Amino acid sequence: LVARTWQLTLDSFEARGLPEAVTLLRLLARFAPEPLPVSLLNHAEVGRAFPRARTEAALRALLDQSLTELIDVGVRCVQTHGVLLDSVASATPPETLAVLSTTAGKLLNAAVPEQPDAGPEDPRLRLLSPHAIAMLRHGAPPQTMAELVGTATRLATALHRTGDYLTAWETAHGAVQLSRETLGAEHRLVLAADSRAGRALFRLGRYPEAERVLRQVRGAQEQLFGADDPDTLDSSHGLQLVLGNVGKRTEALSLLRATITGRLASLGPAHPLTLRSQASLLTMLSKSELEMPENVSLLSLPADCERHLGADHTVTLGARHNHAWALYVLHQLHEADEEIRLVSEMYEHRFGADYPIALSAQQLHARIHYKLGNVEAAVDLMDEVVQKRASSLGPDHPFTTASRHVLADFRGNGQMAH
């Protein structure tokens, strides 16, 4: 009945000189039944399927016949019922599928940031995830499938960098599961998506799974592409983060140093990824290690990052954050206090006070307060961090648990001193 009803309507569109409405509905059937941002359809790539100038008229025709609807979920979207989309998809002429699939993939690709950066949560990105998965589930020739996996991985990266780790994992993991049969488990893009899934697992606090995934992916990448391949090095950087958080410091430090050497050779000293890995050393070295002659130059990393990338670059901010930690370890508390206060202000202005990295900076600031004898200020700030981490990450997340232990130490030692 559904098929007959909409087919009669589509026939009427053809009779009224609105063939674009038919094509648009078939294009929508390549996406998921979840809300789809209208802005995605208003892109030049839609011209692959029908004239872009006819998009509004085609959408209006579908709305007038209740074949789709406009909704506002904080972002203006169209939403089409899943039963209708399935029916349309099954009746779409096979000879048009390649163009429709390519067009849908290009539209999705254009909606994902080309260079994902850290920032506050973006609801539009989360809306794109089910559509990336739906297109992969539809299946496509290897070349199109590879492009879709690349887009899904970039989307997962963008979601990760806004702090939406769960959707990032769902997107990357889904891309891996749905593309392996077509592309093979050892395809470069499939491995890159799996690596991104491992990074998200780490941020979700699922350390054993993250370590397993990243070890497997890195091993395959090293065997297939070499130890200094950018993809291998990216997985290496992610793996050392996990190892450092599960008490495997020696292995983590060795892997990080190898990652830095590889990135210096393949990307150069001024590349953001090279500088990010170098800055990570600041959080791993002990006081005695930081004071070694070969490591003293690390303390100038924020200035190097600012010179190469600019003062507002995310890597520069991260280097200043890590530099504050190194100053804290070196017992240069007043300098550390000044540095992390400025970093916290910049994080809050750019990302918001609840952003994961902002909370990490606030925790360091609380530690420094405590060491300087400002126990009450340290407890107040740490209590806020615990509450926010419990709310955003969950009460049992390792980061939340660690913050709770820091707060307990502050309170216990403060009462003993009193």
The reported pTM is 0.91
What pLDDT score was predicted for residue 416? 43
Give pLDDT, residue 118: 84
Q: May I ask the CATH class of domain 1-93? A: mainly alpha
| 8 Å CB contact between 145 and 136 | yes
Rg for the chain (alpha carbons), in Å? 25
242, 226 contact by CB (below 8 A): no
What pLDDT score does 418 carry? 37
Classified as helix, coil or strand, 122 is: coil
* DSSP type of residue 79: E
Report whether 250 contacts 284 (CB < 8 A). no
Comparing CA positions, the residue from 91, 161, 177 lying closest to residue 119 is 161
- 37, containing H or E segment: strand 36-37
Nearest in space to 388 (alpha carbons), one of 350, 348, 346: 348
Q: How far is CA 368 from CA 96, 330, 400, in A?
A: 63, 12, 19
User: Reduced to 3 states, what is the DSSP secondary structure of residue 348?
Assistant: helix
SS3 for 159-207, per residue? HHHCCCHHHHHHHHHHHHHHHHHHHCCCCHHHHHHHHHHHHHHHHCCCH
Rounded Cα–Cα distance for residues 337 and 134 (Å) = 48
CB atoms inside a 10 Å sphere around CB 236: 24
CB atoms within 10 A of CB 286: 11
Burial status of residue 216 (CB atoms within 10 A of its CB: 0-12, 13-18, 19 or more): middle
pLDDT for 180: 94
Domain with CATH 1.25.40.10 in the chain: 332-418
In the chain, DSSP finds a helix count (H) and a strand count (E) of 21, 3
DSSP assignment string, 48-70: GTS-GGGHHHHHHHHHHTTSSEE
pLDDT along the chain (418 residues), means of 10: 60 72 91 95 90 89 88 94 87 88 94 89 92 92 92 96 94 96 95 98 96 97 96 97 94 96 94 95 94 90 95 94 96 96 93 90 96 94 94 92 94 59
Residues of the chain with CATH 1.10.10: 1-93
For residues 104 and 31, is the Cβ–Cβ distance under 8 A? yes
pLDDT of residue 5: 60
Q: For the domain bounded by 332-418, which CATH number is listed?
A: 1.25.40.10
- Distance between terminal CA atoms of the chain? 78
